[in-house]
Amino acid sequence: MKKIKWLVFLLSITMIFSLVGCKSNESKEVEGDGLFNPGTYAGEGKGIGGTIKLEVTVTEDEITKINVLEHNETPGVSDLAFEQIPAQIIEAQGLGVDAVAGATMSSEGILAAVAQALEKAGADIDALKKVSAKTSTGTGETIEKETDVVVIGGGGAGLAAAVSAHQNGAKVIVLEKMPRVGGNTIISGAAYNAADPKRQEAQGIEDSVDKHFQQTYEGGDKLGKPELIRVLVENAYPTIEWLESMGMKFEDELFTVLGGLWPRAHRPVEPLGTGYINTYMNYIDENSSDMEVLLNTKATELIMEGNKVVGVKAEGPEGELIVKANNGVVIATGVFGNNIEMRDEYNKIWPALTNLKTTNHPGATGDGIAMAKAVGANLVDMEQIQLLPMGDPETGSLSGNIEKSVENRIFVNKDGNRFVDEGARRDVMTKALFEQEDSFMWVILDSKNYPTGEHKNNFNESIDELVAAGRAFKGDTLEELAEEIGVNPENLVAAVNKFNEAVENGGPDEFGRTLFQWKLDTAPFYAGARVPTVHHTMGGIEINEKAEVLDANGNVIPGLYAAGEVTGGIHGANRLGGNALADVNVFGKIAGESAAKNK
């Protein structure tokens, strides 16, 4: 199989895809005197970031060009949709094209925009939706490969493990079932917790590795394994330095992320989690003679010789694949938040989760947990499922969240009243949200978060874009904002005034809140709607400090390692906000090194 290169690019205003080759046989079924009225036609569709505008050029019977004019989709996340969807439409000469996994709303927006343009061209849209490109079914032969370390999963933990393994002398193959790398990391808010004396002292923040340990341990109800938590907090900052040594950049100012309990979150310069993924993929591309990333390749089974893991069976675009691992296999397949049956099977804490949406990408279905369990791995804390109070009401995703930092916003319910300490643990806030009407709240903040309309949230969306898309609301006074969002204006004004008094007095306030930065007193004011969403599954494969996988008796399973959200035993009953990216990178790095050194 040909080496798949990672393409990182910023989408320009104009992207042109030209037809190469002839029409598919399927397109002839909808031909009459002519499929289209020749010309160039404009179309619009709704993506997750707002309106996608494009032009489609057609001859009498061919789609020849799709030109993307304007969009506000997230770079790194939506890139593959803009690369693949127009090209596939042209190849198929039809609209029967599947959405790109992980960029569903962007894909649907592109398809809707093309359909609108083709409708103006006189096309039979229903007929075109039945036309799709032929897909290869492979040769039917089993392909065999051999390397030193096999990594299952191309998200943050998997790529960290791959890079670390290579730096420790190993050749590496990464198996990723999705059509792109990135996993949950690339769509995350990217906050990374680490005690950082240099940056924190400049802000007057007192912190320490021990404080990070204590908050993580107690914040998880003391259910996390202390030895693993100690590895996490002691290696968090050195791992940031490791990332920086490969070119990744972080902002100097630290902040408190939702449920993080303390201002130790590092924000990458690149939007969302693209900085982590780009850093690792740049390294992999520079060392492509020893490293290979196989996309659309789903690992299905661990290969054993006696009690040792020696390889992986997988299904790829060209058929069955067997990859022999001379040193070890690293499982880094992430959480099971997008596996409704699995989360309902293990849930013992929350009301039924069947109808809740999730922040997770489509590939977060627990595959690695199932494979590890099949070879005797022990699973821990599987019932510990984290919900967030910060889901988009339509998608469940984190995008559209207007908050910038915990200290400078409040939550109000549909009556305009506060109901919880907004600096509390994530489970505390979510339980309180479930008690509100329709489990619905508004995030309220002022313009000090957004000095201009072009200022962006933690998900690379400007406040003006969010307001224009109806995903955020703006008012020059609190009363005007209350009218915009349909809450009692007297209640909202009273809630803000009481909060401002607590800021002035230094707290704690009536809800026990102690985290404050400034008063909410500078117009314009903004509001964004949020609901509960499934976010993180703290349970998973049990590991030790070397990221070696353990069986039910506490013994190491030779040749098998795991890292990131697929593991359990670190976060206990509640994961602190900002600890996931630290976990992913710290234990990914450790797993790669351990696997590489296992001769």
pLDDT block averages, 10 residues each, the chain of length 599: 36 35 36 77 89 94 93 78 91 89 84 95 91 63 95 98 98 95 93 97 97 97 97 98 98 94 96 94 97 96 97 94 98 94 92 89 93 98 95 91 93 98 94 96 96 90 92 97 98 97 92 94 97 95 98 97 98 96 98 94
CA distance 317 to 102: 19
> 68 with 52: CB under 8 angstroms?
yes
Please calculate the CA angle 492-496-502 and round it to the nearest 5 degrees: 150
Q: Single out the residue of 544, 566, 567, 569 nearest to residue 557, CA to CA.
A: 544
Please calculate the CA angle 218-219-224 and round it to the nearest 5 degrees: 70
- Looking only at the bridges linking them, the beta strands covering 172-175 and 143-152 are parallel
CA 31 to chain centre: 42
**Residue-level pLDDT at 102:** 67
Helix (H) / strand (E) element for 321: namely strand 319-331
Helix (H) / strand (E) element for 466: namely helix 463-468
Catalytic, out of 180, 426, 513, 530: 426
Taking 3-state DSSP, the helix, strand and coil percentages for the chain, each rounded to the nearest 5, stand at: 30, 25, 45
CA distance 539 to 380: 5
Cβ neighbourhood burial of 370 (10 Å; 0-12, 13-18, 19+): middle
Domains and CATH numbers, the chain: 15-128 (3.90.1010), 143-384+538-596 (3.50.50.60), 387-533 (3.90.700.10)
Helix (H, G, I), strand (E, B) or coil at 456: strand
Contacts of 429 (CB under 8 A, 6+ apart): 258, 259, 389, 411, 420, 421, 422
**Residue-level pLDDT at 104:** 82
Residue with tokens 């199932």: 370
Distances (CA, A) of 50 to 78, 105, 464: 13, 10, 11
CA distance 463 to 54: 23
Please calculate the CA angle 350-361-304 and round it to the nearest 5 degrees: 90
Residue with tokens 């600096």: 423
**Residue-level pLDDT at 337:** 93
> 368 with 379: CB under 8 angstroms?
no
**Residue-level pLDDT at 3:** 38
Q: Single out the residue of 205, 191, 184 nearest to residue 426, CA to CA.
A: 191
Show the tokens assigned to 128: 């075109």
DSSP classification of residue 507? -
Show the tokens assigned to 573: 């009953």
Cβ neighbourhood burial of 589 (10 Å; 0-12, 13-18, 19+): buried
Q: Indicate if 426 belongs to the active site.
A: yes
CA distance 36 to 57: 10
Helix (H, G, I), strand (E, B) or coil at 549: strand
